[in-house]
Amino acid sequence: MSDLLDRLRGRGWRMTAQRRVVAEVLDGEHIHLTADEVLVRATARLPEISRATVYNTLGELVSLGEVLEVATDARAKRYDPNAHRPHQHLLCSHCGTIRDVHPTDDPLSALPAHERFGFTVVAAEVTYRGLCPECAAGA
Amino acid sequence: MSDLLDRLRGRGWRMTAQRRVVAEVLDGEHIHLTADEVLVRATARLPEISRATVYNTLGELVSLGEVLEVATDARAKRYDPNAHRPHQHLLCSHCGTIRDVHPTDDPLSALPAHERFGFTVVAAEVTYRGLCPECAAGA
DNA sequence: TCTTACGATGGACCAAGTCCAAGTCAATAC
DNA sequence: GTATTGACTTGGACTTGGTCCATCGTAAGA
């Protein structure tokens, strides 16, 4: 994740303890935290950090393209640090677990021209829904 | 839409003026209203209808499978009455217009077994994003 | 080390949605 | 047609997720 910190500094981002902690909390694979979860984990490392700062920092990371916003339900947005490899999401409808997945085809190619209504289509987001092994086992 | 009303009555739904109005307001193609928009339109026809009733009725229509919830951004949920024909959504990222579209392939088939992490996958939701003709023209 | 503009803070505020006790009424029974 | 009753509706309080803003603090350049 120091890659990320370096990239941010290179872009003229002013480095503060708060921003570092938020970036660190988001490090990893299959991480999809809500803003509130980020706040809890960040507070564990830096007790004085405020909610507004977490929201500000997440918003900046998103507009810098370093983190993706994921809206799987209409509850809290989730933040996905895996922004540099295109991927989709696989969601357990029972427990809410999210995994990053990589489909074989570009989903864009499945939308024929006559179904595009003249739109300039630039992206396709796919959410696969199902049950994770634990929930399927009736756990 | 009287189809819908008949189906609902057939399922033992108690018919009230409020429920009828909500169902009527949702009638049509490419309809994707928020709960609030439904409330506004329903109020125009039946001024005493309450917000709670609109939410209750929408929730019931969803659990009866007559209406779909669409969460394209993390703002208000939208309600899609076109629940009986499988389809996906095409969204203008500038003005928010939504169209129903019908891709050629089942998006589920693009997810190979080794990317399923043992999940029982039952559905795939696709949101295509782009610019509608009006917004692309710089309007 | 000084300066200063950028960032952090927390508390007020907002929007979407849920909950609940009390009142109302559609549908059935008579 | 009337009575009955349990399902439905109401409005207001409450919750959750998020934004805004005036003020204070501090990273980084001079």
User: What SS3 string covers A76-111?
Assistant: CCEEECCCCCCCEEEEECCCCCEEEECCCCCHHHHC
Is B30 an interface residue toward A (CB < 8 Å)?
A: no
CB-CB contact of B89 with B130 (8 Å): no
What's the mean pLDDT when you consider all of chain B?
91
Q: Which residue is nearest to nucleotide C9 (CA to C1')?
A: A50
Is B122 an interface residue toward A (CB < 8 Å)?
A: yes
pTM reported for the whole predicted model: 0.89
Query: What is the model's pLDDT at position B112?
Result: 93
pLDDT, tens only, A19-71: 999 999 998 889 999 999 999 999 999 999 999 999 999 999 999 999 999 98
Tell if A35 CB is < 7 Å from nucleic strand C.
no
Amino acid identity at B50: S
Q: Which of B92, B101, B127 sits opposite A125 (nearest CB)?
A: B127
Distance CA B19, CA B38 (A): 12
CB within 8 Å: B104 and A112: yes
pLDDT, tens only, B57-116: 999 999 999 999 998 877 899 999 999 889 999 999 888 889 999 988 888 988 999 999
**Strand D nearby residues, CB < 7 A:** A 9, 14-17, 34-36, 51-52, 55, 59, 75-77; B 13-14, 16, 18-19, 48-53, 56-57, 74
Query: What is the model's pLDDT at position B74?
Result: 73
Average pLDDT over residues B28-49: 95
Given the structure tokens 């429920």, which residue do they identify?
B19
Question: Among A133, A38, A117, which Cα is nearest to B92's?
Answer: A117
Q: How far apart are the first and last CA of chain A?
A: 35
Query: What is the model's pLDDT at position B139?
Result: 61
Question: Among B64, B107, B72, B77, which Cα is nearest to B92's?
Answer: B72
- Classify A139 as helix, strand or coil: coil
CB-CB contact of B101 with A115 (8 Å): yes
Question: Which range (A2-16, A20-34, A69-83) has the least confidence?
Answer: A2-16
